Chains A and B, each alone.
Chain A
Amino acid sequence: MMAAALGPPEVIAQLENAAKVLMAPPSMVNTEQRQHAEHIFLSFRKSKSPFAVCKHILETSKVDYVLFQAATAIMEAVVREWILLEKGIIESLRTFLLNYVLQRPHLQKYVREQILLAVAVIVKRGSLDKSIDCKSIFHEVSQLISSGNPTVQTLACSILTALLSEFSSSSKTSNIGLSMEFHGNCKRVFQEEDLRQIFLLTVQVLQEFSQREHLSAQMSSVFQRYLALANHVLSWNFLPPNLGRHYIAMFESSQNVLLKPTESWREALLNSKVMELFFTVHRKIREDSDMAQDSLQCLAQLASLHGPVFPDEGAQVDYLSHFIEGLLGTINGIEIEDSEAVGISSIISNLITVFPRNVLTAIPRELFSSFVNCLTHLTCSFGRSAALEEVLDKDDMVYMEAYDRLLESWLTLVQDDKHFHKGFFTQHAVQVFNSYIQCHLAAPDGTRNLTANGVASREEEEISELQEDDRDQFSDQLASVGMLGRIAAEHCIPLLTSLLEERVTRLHGQLQRQQQQLLASPASGSADSKTLDDLYEDIHWLILVTGYLLADDTQGETPLIPPEIMEYSIKHSSEVDINTTLQILGSPGEKASSIPGYNRTDSVIRLLSAVLRVSEVESRAIRAHLTHLLSPQMGKDIVWFLKRWAKTYLLVDEKLYDQISVPFSTAFGADTEGSQWIVGYLLEKVLNNLSVCSSEQGLADDTVQLLVTLVERRERANLVIQCENWWNLAKQFASRSPPLNFLSSPVQRTLMKALVLGGFAHMDTETKQQYWTEVLQPLQQRFLRVINQENFPQTCQQEEVKQEITATLEALCGIAEATQVDNVAILFNFLMDFLTNCIGLMEVYKNTPETVNLIIEVFVEVAHKQICYLGESKAMNLYEACLTLLQVYSKNNLGRQRIDVTAEEEQYQDLLLIMELLTNLLSKEFIDFSDTDEVFRGQEPGPAASRSVSAADVVLYGVNLILPLMSQDLLKAREERNVNVETMRA
């Protein structure tokens, strides 16, 4: 339109003016002018057949931005008018654009890239109807490359890069108005033929460059570009045939792309010269960290080669042998640069992950063992460098990343015992394990916090709660090291035992000395916190490694004793004296070495007992009022370990194992004195911790988790409830007296959960009666006493009344959390009584948002934990209760306006909770374990009334109730909206 109305010179003038406006600083032009200028460009790009004008602009205009827009206009118009255009015109346009760029080496980069993008788009659009001959462009490019002129070669590289990125993905390319399937098909055609062409051209350039003795700066920059291009090609995400639309998107979003080309690439990639070239290139440029990144990445991609490109296993073995030879030749005997660590570790990790074990073992034996030696050496050395990085507190932890990868590779490697004979990796495992331990222990045994020149550095830094605990932050490393420790159990278990035992003795001595000092001069502060802190840190790491070595962390499944550990214990059980072993286990207060015959004990049990000794020293220090000297972190480690251990070893179920170690079954088996003793010991530990550590949230958390572990399985719970301490705990908690009522609310909830779970242990009716009288009844009684008081509406705001109510509501949440399939019937009925009363409370506390929120939270928890088990009539009861709650809430809050000082999102916490409640109710629609009130059988008064209500109905009704409460402000709160959408969607 515009182009038709105005002659080319006018159009150019208009566009150049508009460009001036757009490029002007904000102070010079107003918004209106800017919008007008934008509009001019937009309509220009939409104009019909702008090719002549655009050519004219490109040839005459001096304004870069206008040139850029002209290129864009051509690109868009070609795609738009494709079917109407004659092939000749398209062909000439493409040639024009290419020549244009060639003739103007000094174009602005963004203009050049845009023009090349237009070329690439034309090629792509043409590739499917075969109208454009792609070959010709490669012919032209290869001529450019052979020109020997660096500028031209750079341009050739840009053309190839533009083509590559245009074809590489189906979703991230220029919008040319075609379907995803079209993009997918283009990509498949491209990767068969043209991509390989590009690869060969690139290899040719690299070949040539790598043979030159000296590279000028300009040449070297060209070299770098082609290397990057090679990396681009080798990281190509080869699209398999027949992949559906949804999978294409998923496939292309995968981060870690392995090289899996089609068969047609066989010649190009299996040629050993190609692989050698990349090794040569790397050797040549390895000191340039930028280029080394690309060359290593190319090698890593080549290390991940798999798929139909290999004709048979033999080819794979050949390729792998060649590759490993090249790799060892490159890295052996050199000092690895910092920038190489990650790259080298990815190469190795790719080799180990991608090549099947039978191929790995088929390469020459010598070669394989040098490879494993090299891996061992690198792992240990990266580990040490990673520790140094930590000391220096570097931002970029390259060695840590490399170390992680290598440890992960070990995990893949050693988990296969079919292809490697037993003990094949033992010596290597010992080395890696030792170096890990060494890096984490203080001098003289280890090198922790030592800088390269052996100077100890240590800073007391502020650590916020957001920082992850080491056991989570380094869980992958610890899992690998634990696995290696199992492989080399003969070495590692005694090592850990002796390191731990020695440190326990030192810790005991150190605490004693500090106590003496305190007694002598109470005013003096703790003098030597360094020694203690070093001991704590040593013990911290030793316990973590021991925990990962002895047991796995499983969720949902029953964790088994690792077979290596079981075998190790069985193997030595004939040399072991069971009684001494039990004595070592049962006397954590004594030094292990003070027990006669201590060397003839089961090593695994002795390692456990070493941790118990640490725990005992801690407990004694607490009793001696030295809590302020203790490390809460070590306290956490101890209960974390005990929990992990108890889950796996305590009351081993012999049915799950082919063979069981006699020491294990004697010490922790069912119906043994050992297990009874240890349950008592653990319970005492829990009680100790909870009564002195209410101020250490993390420790209290881990401690109640241990308690839950003790009671969540019926067999263990049966032992627990025989302990007097358990009953003491229950009574103490029910009385809401200190110190237990100081615990934070999540800890109290979990404690309540544990107490309820314990109640389902096996006991005679009378005991059971007594137990519930101690645990649940006080809750009910206290609650009813408060709310049934005549003047409750008047006293409800009194602090002690509020606290009583809050504590009850918290406890209800805990009870709901304890729900399991076999106790849901009892717990549901118990909680339902409360829910009804809670609705009354909503009325009383309508002005106290924190209490209202807590009441809603109780409903949220009950719905969350129980709805899936409830049959029709019980679910109906719960729906009714929830809707009544909503009605009361809605009545009290309709039209309410509040000023609240807190941030917006928190202000609406009540509504958020309600949305969560509705979401939980809705989950009934897709997760439903109920079997027409199976678990309630015998309690039903009769068949449920004929009304059948679905959760969705209830939720819709609920949403209806609270919708009027949602103000516009509220909908602005993003968090809310997400929950909202989630609910609405279902």
Chain B
Amino acid sequence: MCGLGWAPCTEDPGGGGGPGGAVREGRPAVGRWGPGFAAPQAVPSEEFPQPTMADEIDFTTGDAGASSTYPMQCSALRKNGFVVLKGRPCKIVEMSTSKTGKHGHAKVHLVGIDIFTGKKYEDICPSTHNMDVPNIKRNDYQLICIQDGYLSLLTETGEVREDLKLPEGELGKEIEGKYNAGEDVQVSVMCAMSEEYAVAIKPCK
């Protein structure tokens, strides 16, 4: 079965989380200590009701209903972790705090790099603020073929995905080269906030 139009990440593109997503449960009331700093939460959108496809399609990963992001207090973020900056999933490459005046309260400066495009984003916010953190998933697939600039990948459950582009740049050339040389390779695919890209390869065992 080839899942045409199959969305590996079930979130709607608007970034709205599934209603009552499991991740949210048991989370603290957001912005508890700083009423002025309530985090912009992803609100379940009325316009994009969660599709009921969950019953029809055989999901390999049990992430139905999981939201694409979850909130976290700014101070609890860590370098090399992930955060959403300007609506993009980023890896935190720099995190520093400062304060205004010796007796001021801490502010956090974040520098993140878009995990897909490599673009740099920055943000400053009070450390009591909540930030969105993207849910990141990674999967390894076996490469079957390359066609029209798209990868054909074999999932663990034996399905074939053909919706992922051959990445540009070095890695893309590498994949193509290995494929043309007839080597068996596995492609690591990273998924965050309804975007998905190949990010690494390694030889099959």
Contact = CB atoms under 8 A, between A and B. Distances in A.
B98 A899 contact: no
B101 A696 contact: no
A694 interface: yes
Interface string B98-109: 111111111000
B11 to A, nearest CB: 13
Interface centre among B126, B128, B170, B188 (most CB of A within 10 A): B128
Interface stretch (B41-49, B70-78, B145-153): B70-78
B158 interface: no
Interface string A893-910: 111111111110010010
B127 interface: yes
A899 B198 CA distance: 9
B22 interface: yes
A980 B102 CA distance: 41
A909 B203 CA distance: 22
Interface string B110-129: 00011100100000001110
Contact of A695 (B60, B106, B113, B137): B106
A794 B62 contact: yes
A694 B75 contact: yes
Contacts of B91: 901-902
B73 A901 contact: no
A862 interface: no
A899 B76 contact: no
A695 B104 contact: no
Contacts of B28: 738-739, 742
Interface string B157-179: 00000000001011100100000
Interface stretch (A271-279, A378-386, A627-635, A833-841): A627-635
B34 interface: yes
Contacts of B26: 737
B138 to A, nearest CB: 4
Contacts of A332: none
Interface in A788-826: 791, 794-795, 797-800
Interface in A736-754: 737-739, 741-745
Contacts of B128: 695
A537 interface: yes
Contacts of A742: 28, 73, 75-76
Given A462-B98, A628-B105, A739-B28, A901 B201 contact: no
Given A628-B105, A899-B200, A744 B137 contact: no
Interface string A849-872: 010010000000000000000000
Given A797-B61, A847-B188, A897-B201, A906 B80 contact: yes
A540 interface: yes
Interface residues of B, number: 58
Given A540-B102, A632-B106, A903-B93, A695 B73 contact: yes
A32 interface: no
Contacts of B14: none
Contacts of A738: 28, 32
Given A628-B105, A797-B137, A902 B96 contact: no
B144 interface: no
B13 interface: no
A277 B104 CA distance: 55
Given A464-B96, A798-B63, A898-B199, A696 B106 contact: yes
Nearest to B97: A465
Interface of A: 460-466, 532-533, 536-537, 540, 627-628, 631-634, 692, 694-698, 737-739, 741-745, 791, 794-795, 797-800, 847-848, 850, 853, 891, 893-903, 906, 909
Given A464-B96, A901-B113, 8 more contacts: A463-B99, A465-B96, A695-B74, A697-B75, A697-B97, A794-B61, A797-B137, A894-B202
27 contacts: A461-B101, A463-B101, A463-B104, A465-B97, A465-B98, A466-B96, A533-B101, A632-B99, A632-B103, A632-B104, A632-B105, A632-B106, A695-B106, A695-B127, A696-B75, A797-B61, A797-B63, A798-B23, A798-B63, A799-B23, A847-B138, A848-B136, A897-B200, A898-B199, A901-B91, A901-B93, A901-B115
User: Closest 9 CB pairs between A and B?
Assistant: A631-B103, A847-B138, A738-B28, A695-B127, A896-B202, A898-B200, A695-B128, A901-B113, A460-B101
